[in-house]
Amino acid sequence: MAEPLSRIRNIGIIAHIDAGKTTLSERILYYTDNIHRMGEVHEGAAAMDFMPEEQERGITIASSCGTCLWNGEGAGVGDGVVINLIDTPGHVDFTIEVERSLRVLDGAVGVFCAVGGVEPQSETVWRQSEKFGIPKLAFVNKMDRPGADFSMVLDAMRRRLKAVPVPVTIPLGQEESFRGVIDLARMESLAFDDADKGRSVTRAPLTEEEAAYAAPWREKLLEALADVDEGVMEAYLAGEDVPEGAIQAALRAGTLAGAFVPVFAGAALRNIGVQPLLDGVAAYLPSPLDARKASGVDVRTKEPVTIDPDPAGPFSALVFKVFVENGRKLALMRVYAGTVKEGDACRNVTTNEYEKIGRMFRLQAGKREPLDAASAGDIVAVQGLRTVRTGDSLAADSRPVLLENIDAYTPVISLALEPKNTEEGKKLDEALARFCTEDPTLRVAQDEDSGQRLVSGMGELHLEVLLDRMKREHSLAPRAGNPQVLYHETIRKTASGDGEFDRELGGQRHYGCVRAAVAPRERGAGNTITLPGGEAADGRARQLHETLEQGLADALQCGPLGYAVEDVAVTASFCPGKEEGMSGPGCRMAAAMALKNALQEAAPSLLEPIMAVEVAVPESMVGSVISLLNARGGKVETIEDEAGQKMVRGFAPMRELFGFSTALRSATQGRAGMVLRFARLDLA
């Protein structure tokens, strides 16, 4: 059954590894009645973390998705809200997965550990969510742990995230004595009955002591709201009591405007404080109607378009996750516009193939609820899509919008896999095809001569996880080489070259003659291909020019050093007077030869991936981090104070970063947090 858009909340949880994201998701699904048995993470049974190696590593790698209905008393939205909970990956080797899941959500909850505060990875994801303009709430988890400090986390949010935290619930007690929260909007205390895993919540008026503790917090709340709401401002200045309704409205307006972040205190593992957070999700986070509009590119016009969340408009959706389950493909898609039913045709805009929508479901952590239709704002699982891979855009023919640009991924390392025999080779290819469907940042190429499969990805962990899954899910353990840096190449001077191809193939003469000139471009500027006179050509000449352009583009995939060519301006033309006798294949071959000759004369040089490195450490360990980075050819750019720690930022070549996280861990007794991201290509 379709829900009115205003009742849908598509939200994600942003957290550092171990902040408690999985535990919190579990509690949310439990309180909203969708999981009857709570799985604790340490038992490896959590419903949201369903890939075995995630449970083993204790990190959430895939973005899963669960739907639940929340109609807690504080939801303030009539019959409650449907929450689609998208579990964003916590590891930054999977940044693109994080970005993709951020695209499909409308709001997010940042989970911070009350002891660890804002750690580097949650900081990265938080920043990314800012880039997408996603309104957020924060949950300060683990208030029961020794060393828990609510104010420290607020301070870290201000300093490291540049956020304006506005506590809505505050902890009652802390560490071992943490027992509940105070709701500052209503000035009531909330207790959670541990006997039923916190499902029953008891609200009570504040005791005198609690009221005295809460008063300055309430004052701060009203001050923050007065900044964004005139009604609250007037009442506050006049010293009048601000009604709860006005507080709620101001909290919502300020959250949606990105003016501040409502904060909730709790301990998911101890079943404390989760329901007020759910009320906050319903009351303050946007529905698809309030959310920023999706944008993409219309592939017909190449013009950017924004999409209104109109159920009656042309269909547009992003497939943000593809699973292969028992040989069947299941795709999770966010619908941005239009309405589709089972059997409807649409276009896979990314691959330009036709698709048919199969059966649709809402996923409820282990269960599936069949759906007749899906409309703008929905997140649903679909069967039967033949060609889709993660990241593909689906659309009605009348408005083919591409939502995600796959070209933006730059793999930085590769791994050679060698099957023992033909049999294993076949299984390996099947498994790799499946993994590539699920993860477009994974690339596979086959070396014709050696039979090796070359797999490339975004980082060491990315490929480690691939090998793990290969073993576990496909019982495959091909011989694997050491991971290698994925180089690119460029040129350092201008040069030109000719290519002439003339051969009889299958009884037909193929001829082509091309002249190419190449010039270096600025680092990161990309390649350009210019064909003087090509624009004006028509008929057969136009066709030949298109073939020439395609031939050059293909040849740029592998330069004289054997790597993809970057930052080169290519200008090419047919040799004067010889166009008459040219054939398509002849022209392609000549293009490749001319380009190769030109590149060879242009001082071809290796380009290597440079990674941005961010390490957060206690001050006493900054020295060891700097020497570790220096020893690996890194360059430290800034060292800043952030929430009682030092944040060391710099760059280092990927080639020196193998095993860096292990080395860092042992140099700092595990106290450093690290983020590695592809930054740019540089001359090696």
Residues that bind ligand GDP (CB under 6 A): 15, 17-23, 41-42, 58-60, 90, 141-142, 144-145, 267-270
Least distance to ligand GDP, CB of residue 49, Å: 7
Residue 140 or 333: the one with the smaller Cβ distance to ligand GDP is 140
Strand boundaries in 308-461, DSSP class E:
316-325, 328-337, 339-341, 345-348, 353-356, 360-364, 367-371, 373-375, 379-383, 393-395, 401-402, 413-418, 443-446, 453-457
Distances (CA, A) of 250 to 100, 123, 134, 280: 30, 26, 18, 13
Q: How far is CA 570 from the centre of its chain?
A: 34
Residue 20 or 650: the one with the smaller Cβ distance to ligand GDP is 20
42 touches which of ligand GDP, Mg ion, none (CB within 5 to 8 A by kind)? ligand GDP
84 touches which of Mg ion, ligand GDP, none (CB within 5 to 8 A by kind)? none
Least distance to Mg ion, CB of residue 173, Å: 27
Residue 671 or 680: the one with the smaller Cβ distance to ligand GDP is 671
Cα gap 365→49, rounded to integer Å = 10
Least distance to Mg ion, CB of residue 21, Å: 5
145 touches which of ligand GDP, Mg ion, none (CB within 5 to 8 A by kind)? ligand GDP
18 touches which of Mg ion, ligand GDP, none (CB within 5 to 8 A by kind)? ligand GDP
Least distance to ligand GDP, CB of residue 336, Å: 28
169 touches which of ligand GDP, Mg ion, none (CB within 5 to 8 A by kind)? none
Q: How far is CA 128 from the centre of its chain?
A: 9
Residue 175 or 549: the one with the smaller Cβ distance to ligand GDP is 175
Sole window of 22-30, 345-353, 495-503, 590-598 interacting with Mg ion (rule: CB under 5 A): 22-30
Largest Cα separation within the chain, whole Å, is: 99
Residue 81 or 274: the one with the smaller Cβ distance to Mg ion is 274
Supply the DSSP symbol for 77.
Answer: S
**Rule CB under 5 A: is residue 32 a binding residue for Mg ion?**
no
Tell me which residues in 142-171 interact with Mg ion (CB under 5 A): none
Burial (CB count within 10 angstroms: exposed 0-12, middle 13-18, buried 19+), residue 548: buried
Chain position carrying tokens 């309430």: 218
**Tokens representing residue 653 in the block:** 């070549």
589 touches which of Mg ion, ligand GDP, none (CB within 5 to 8 A by kind)? none
Residue 21 or 160: the one with the smaller Cβ distance to Mg ion is 21
**Rule CB under 5 A: is residue 60 a binding residue for Mg ion?**
yes
**Tokens representing residue 639 in the block:** 């060292």
Least distance to Mg ion, CB of residue 560, Å: 46
Distances (CA, A) of 586 to 252, 507, 556: 65, 14, 18
Residue 57 or 649: the one with the smaller Cβ distance to ligand GDP is 57
Least distance to Mg ion, CB of residue 16, Å: 10
Q: Are 26 and 395 in contact (CB under 8 A)?
A: no
Residue 14 or 629: the one with the smaller Cβ distance to Mg ion is 14
Cα gap 153→446, rounded to integer Å = 49
**Rule CB under 5 A: is residue 23 a binding residue for Mg ion?**
no
Cα gap 294→337, rounded to integer Å = 9
Of residues 12, 19, 22, 322, which one binds Mg ion by CB under 5 A? 22
Phi-psi region for residue 60, left (φ > 0), alpha (ψ -120 to 50) or beta?
beta
Q: What does the binding site for Mg ion look like in residue numbers (CB under 5 A)?
A: 21-22, 60
